Chains A and B, each alone.
Chain A
């Protein structure tokens, strides 16, 4: 009894305190992470869950739909749940690459509605602390002299976005991606272990996952693959471009919805994200999850994705992954 009264009072106080806070009224909002719990897609959905909390009337539930690196969810939302206005699905640049490589079957980027981003991450070229490499230039020189001389490893298979980073470096050094001595690990954790253990020399990881290791000094980040210098704690690390190599790799993370979602439902979500983007709290949530701000929604995102897809298609063709 007391609890209801207190919460009723609290509710009144809150609604009085924030009269301007418009909330999107979405029934049973759901964020589908197309993978097992604990990975990047889970993290993406958690950003929606906590970040949207003040901006939607009902809390966003996170559900999991693993299977085929996101293909199961992609197909599901192209066949059965094309008009589900309550559900959003997490994606990343890796998903875009999979669409291009045909891993998601017959459906492509025009078969879903791109909703919003959760944030961005950037590629990083990482070596062990006591590595002979002290700059990206040394690696690139070695690659240019003999493409087989450097052992590169990362957490994804050949053709994955982790491999792409290595492939782009290789191309820049004058070799072909298929010449690269690339070792595919089962996730970034195993690849980092292999780097620390000396099995691989260069790890093409992401900036976000490096935060815990910055202080410990076990590894050196020789370059970020960001378009421009990042803010602290990465402010000291030069980009590949600054070092004279035109290699850039941005990992976008975000959400899409089924193709036949009504404009009204779609707009409710867009509004909620736009409202969240405007707050400091959302930036804080991104930072806590190792994401850097990259806030795009609705039309702007769709346009950006179409550009990215063109670029990725070119790269994938050059790398020999598609004809």
Chain B
């Protein structure tokens, strides 16, 4: 405990240096903007600014503080276009569209934006606190998570999502299957064979998650808007001045807490990040607290869950990077590269060898979270006004942003065809009243599930027993069973009870 406190003291001394403080603020602000643009997410923001930070000759702790500010700024910003435009700003913000966008459509954009900012703040701060207290132990635990345990985690994720969204179970399952199929494209890691690549080199490594998100969500939304416009059924929304109420926070407080815990722990695990965390948090909350069936129609808890979780996951993924030198997500992989560029060896020795960098970064995360809340709340009104832009300006604007975003990161024209094609697919699916979230989740969870299942079986030499050999796997299967069975049992019990009461009344 003493080492933590003295470490934090060192860290805050570094982070409160006026120059570093300014960098935190700049990073958070720029990050929010980058995150808000569809297609550009934390990974691109950090990658684009890394050479700049290096080129400006900042000391390593300052450069890292700037980059980290951009990282969690982008996690905050991702929610903005999810809520306002129904287009996820980045991978972790897919689930935010489910309840965030209906709120905006109901004239509550300001309330949705401010509530999600608060949820993000709590999730992010929660993660930093856990990280500074328990980082080394948590990282040791995270690496003991074997491929078999990941399989169990994915089963749990699927289970908590099973009743996720959409009116028809069949369509939800079909949607997830389409996602699973998209995930099988590319070189199969276990055999080195090309699957469904049809001789197109651009998809040898599989389809990038971002392309699926921007295509299926962004482009499909765009086509829907154009269609409504052509039919003349679009109505523009009045300026709304709504804001988060204490009642909202009171309602969502347990949701935010639970989602922060889920997000943090999933974030720590190498290989799973904000997208899985927010999906599991949303699914779990829907199972636990959606008694009235309001999730997906603009429920504040449905909005708070993924936002608390994805920011907590962003903090969690820093744990294995700082303590073991193992990146927990794509973005932390780039931050790791940044450390190496500054000739700092990340890993177990970093906290003792370069305390000013390690603890300075941790302290800047505390400050960053506060800064983001302070920056974001006053801007809510400004962002909400975006919705009053007439649709015939807004539609091309979304298109331009999505195309630029995708082209900037990859610079491959093939990806522009991909998002257009996926957009048509998404529009078509929406016409058939499919919900698109299961498609995305099938895509993310599917490849994690497949790869880890095959890893587990390679380890055991083909013995399926490995899947139930560890207490962590068994615990997760137990939880999976619980989230499926519990709601059914509860529903039956309450029906029986009300049935009983009716019988008594007779």
Contacts and interface: CB of A to CB of B under 8 A. Distances in A.
Interface residues of A, number: 60
B143 A66 contact: no
A183 B144 contact: no
Nearest to A32: B411
B488 to A, nearest CB: 35
B455 interface: yes
A189 B327 contact: yes
B162 interface: no
A300 interface: no
B326 A200 contact: no
Interface stretch (B252-260, B340-348, B383-391, B433-441): B340-348
A133 interface: no
Contacts of A103: 187, 194, 204
B347 A64 contact: no
Contacts of A43: 337
A68 B201 contact: yes
Nearest to A199: B146
B201 A183 contact: no
A105 B409 CA distance: 24
B325 A199 contact: no
Contacts of A206: none
Contacts, number: 161
Contacts of B227: none
Interface bracket on B: 35 or more
A157 B204 CA distance: 13
Nearest to B325: A212
A75 interface: yes
B201 A199 contact: no
A197 B459 contact: no
A211 B204 contact: no
A71 interface: yes
A290 to B, nearest CB: 7
Interface string A57-75: 0000011111111011011
A67 B414 contact: yes
A215 B187 contact: no
Contacts of A156: 189
B205 interface: yes
Interface in B130-148: 142-147
Interface of B: 43-44, 47-48, 50-51, 142-147, 187-192, 194, 197, 199, 201-205, 208, 270-271, 320, 324-327, 330, 333-334, 336-337, 340-341, 343, 345-349, 409-412, 414, 451, 454-455, 458-459, 461
Interface of A: 36-39, 42-43, 46, 49, 62-69, 71-72, 74-75, 101, 103-105, 148, 151, 153, 156-160, 163, 181-187, 189-190, 192-194, 196-200, 211-213, 215-216, 218, 288-290, 321
Given A37-B334, A69-B205, 13 more contacts: A65-B411, A71-B202, A103-B187, A181-B459, A187-B333, A189-B270, A190-B270, A193-B320, A199-B147, A215-B345, A216-B347, A218-B348, A288-B340
Closest 7 CB pairs of A and B: A68-B204, A159-B192, A37-B47, A71-B201, A197-B143, A157-B189, A216-B348
5 contacts: A37-B47, A66-B208, A148-B461, A159-B192, A212-B349
